[in-house]
Chains A and B, each alone.
Chain A
Amino acid sequence: GEDVEQSLFLSVREGDSSVINCTYTDSSSTYLYWYKQEPGAGLQLLTYIFSNMDMKQDQRLTVLLNKKDKHLSLRIADTQTGDSAIYFCAEIGYGGSQGNLIFGKGTKLSVKP
């Protein structure tokens, strides 16, 4: 079945760039998403990319998609302490998941001052 994998932890210093990586298995994925979860809060959609794109930039966020390797990354430029959160990669596939979101376990980003 479909699977989405992420590393569990990332620690960076304030002002550095953060890169969070994700791999997925469903080659029929049409949209791939990054969600952010702050402590005690819900899942906030940060950005998404359509599968025919290689890159999408949105202010400090850059999403790179390597469809051949099924690899997705989220780069946060000039990381701030307010960016500390859990970041979830998710895909919508139209294989077994029938159009529902499949999430990774989440990467906990810690930003040190």
Chain B
Amino acid sequence: EPEVTQTPSHQVTQMGQEVILRCVPISNHLYFYWYRQILGQKVEFLVSFYNNEISEKSEIFDDQFSVERPDGSNFTLKIRSTKLEDSAMYFCASSQDRGRGGYTFGSGTRLTVV
């Protein structure tokens, strides 16, 4: 069964450093997403991406965040200057369309900012 692959599975970084979280969505999917889950809290929407541009973003997705599809297979989330409160599990997801069959999620990257 096709999978969404995320790397690394765990990243520790110092406050103020830049991090890039990587994802390989399912190859025939058209929509890509980043969600995050702070420990003990809800899974929250960050951003959706379609046709090589951001289609929606939440209030959480401020100027320190950016996304990119640098080559035709990878989908990355960059956090420019990490803060302690960015520590969370970050999930990448992809879908063929909006809704219906649901999204396929990756296993997540646990980001720890120290």
Contact = CB atoms under 8 A, between A and B. Distances in A.
Given A98-B56, A100-B48, A103-B42, A31 B99 contact: yes
A45 B4 CA distance: 13
A42 B107 contact: yes
A88 B91 CA distance: 14
Interface in B66-111: 91, 93, 98-108
Contact of A31 (B41, B100, B108): B100
A99 interface: yes
B33 A100 contact: yes
B35 interface: yes
Contact of B41 (A4, A43, A101, A105): A105
A101 B56 contact: no
B43 interface: yes
Interface residues of A, number: 25
B45 interface: yes
Contacts of A90: 43
Interface residues of B, number: 25
Nearest to B45: A100
Contacts of A45: 101-105
B86 to A, nearest CB: 19
Interface of B: 4, 6, 33, 35, 41-45, 48, 56, 58, 91, 93, 98-108
5 contacts: A30-B99, A42-B4, A42-B6, A99-B98, A101-B43
6 closest A-B pairs by CB: A42-B107, A43-B105, A103-B43, A45-B102, A42-B105, A100-B45
Given A48-B100, A90-B43, A102-B45, 14 more contacts: A40-B107, A42-B6, A42-B107, A43-B91, A43-B105, A44-B105, A45-B103, A45-B104, A99-B48, A99-B99, A100-B56, A103-B35, A103-B42, A106-B42
